[in-house]
Amino acid sequence: MKKELTNELEVLKEKGLYRSLKIISSYSEKEIVIDGIKYMNFSSNNYLGMSLRPEVKKAAIDAINKYGCGGTSSRLICGTLDVHKELEEKLARLKSKEASLVFPSGFSTNQGIISTLFSSGDAIIMDKLNHASLWDGASLSKARIFIYEHKDMESLEKILKRAQSYKKRLIVTDTVFSMDGDLAPLKEIAYLAKKYSAVTMIDEAHATGVFGEKGSGLAEELGVEKEIDIVMGTLSKAIGSSGGFVCADKETIEYLINKSRAFIYTTSLAPASVCSAIKALEIIEREPEKRKKLLENAKYLKNNLNALGFDTLESESQIIPLFTGEVSKTLEISSKLMDAGIYVPAIRPPTVAEGRCRLRFSLTSQHSKEDIDKLIETIKTELKLRK
């Protein structure tokens, strides 16, 4: 087997698709140190700086002092602490749902929800660009998977018509797409779901804390919270902690507690993660200016990149792709920027389709206008643009 794996790795190397881990020895609000070299960081999901916020860190340390480091058991044995309950109540309120449940990661949340609530005889209707964890959840469920063209409501409606004979029909979509930074048309999806009696599920991983008046997410921003049946998110991005969650009606959550393998057969989320998330959520609700700043930063970078003639696809969020197309060009630009002290990841297949490579900038509220100006100047110099 070792020989076959080595051969496959060689093929990846030849195609420019080999990946290796970058070891970070220091992480501050805007800078990271990789192999002893400092870079300005434009790749983090710590969108609101919560992971490094002193009150959030203190909440984690206090939690360790009170409860210890590990979850020590699965939730149904002796792994459910009072703070798990507090966090779940807080998340349910944030998402305007009856109940909530926390999982060890956003990835396992998506796997757990879909594979538990849907099975053979059901239809799962996916946006083509949904996150990998949604695809894995759908595959595990053994339901029939249908794919509609990205954000294309005609394509979705056609599928809904075809899928009427399936027992349950689920429409599931990211709200902020993780590699394109564009937004799902939730109002239109909710309308079609009602028309064809489908269940709706959204993945608010990149929208929680970022969109909406109280920072709940894109469903809040677009006024469709009531129309969405199942909302998931992660604690690992704007919330700056670790873990994932689902919010829904009481019966759905009770069912997941009883049946979801990804929830039942794993150790509960560590107390430090739980308590740092509670603290970060408190701050996120009372500091709306952070998310406003984040989205202003995003607009500023996008406008500047567009003015230089770059294609940023349809991004409307803090995730901004700079479309490059082919692998070699993408690696070349990414490496030039790295040489100039800027870290931005090159996104290649299989994360995106062939010919759809890009650099993926992600901004935080902690970036200043000067940081973004510096990035733009570096891009101009390194890529020898004249504008």
Residues forming the site for ligand PMP (CB under 6 A): 105-107, 110, 131, 133, 174, 178, 203, 205-206, 234, 236, 244
**CB 231, min distance to ligand PMP, A:** 12
Q: How far apart are CA 75 and CA 88, in angstroms?
A: 13
Long-range contacts of 340-343 (CB under 8 A, 24+ apart): 340/378, 340/381, 340/382, 341/37, 341/38, 341/39, 341/40, 341/378, 342/39, 342/40, 342/42, 342/375, 342/378, 343/32, 343/34, 343/39, 343/40, 343/41, 343/42, 343/43
β-sheet bridge partners, residue 128 = none
SS3 325: strand
HEC per residue, 12-27: HHHCCCCCCCCCEEEE
**CB 362, min distance to ligand PMP, A:** 11
Catalytic residue among 84, 95, 131, 206: 206
**CB 147, min distance to ligand PMP, A:** 16
User: What token pair was written down for 237?
Assistant: 């991005």
**Maximum pairwise Cα distance, the chain:** 64
Task: Let me know if 206 is a catalytic residue.
Answer: yes
Q: Between residues 205 and 347, which has the closer beta carbon with respect to ligand PMP?
A: 205
Q: Between residues 236 and 266, which has the closer beta carbon with respect to ligand PMP?
A: 236
Q: Between residues 92 and 238, which has the closer beta carbon with respect to ligand PMP?
A: 238
**CB 252, min distance to ligand PMP, A:** 19
Task: Let me know if 237 is a catalytic residue.
Answer: yes
Q: Which residue is nearest to ligand PMP (CB)?
A: 106
**CB 124, min distance to ligand PMP, A:** 16
β-sheet bridge partners, residue 347 = 358
Q: Between residues 166 and 245, which has the closer beta carbon with respect to ligand PMP?
A: 245
Residue 94: name the closest of 280, 337, 243 by CA.
Answer: 280
Q: Between residues 42 and 107, which has the closer beta carbon with respect to ligand PMP?
A: 107
Catalytic residue among 97, 151, 237, 279: 237
Task: Let me know if 334 is a catalytic residue.
Answer: no
Catalytic residue among 178, 236, 260, 273: 178
Active site members: 178, 206, 237
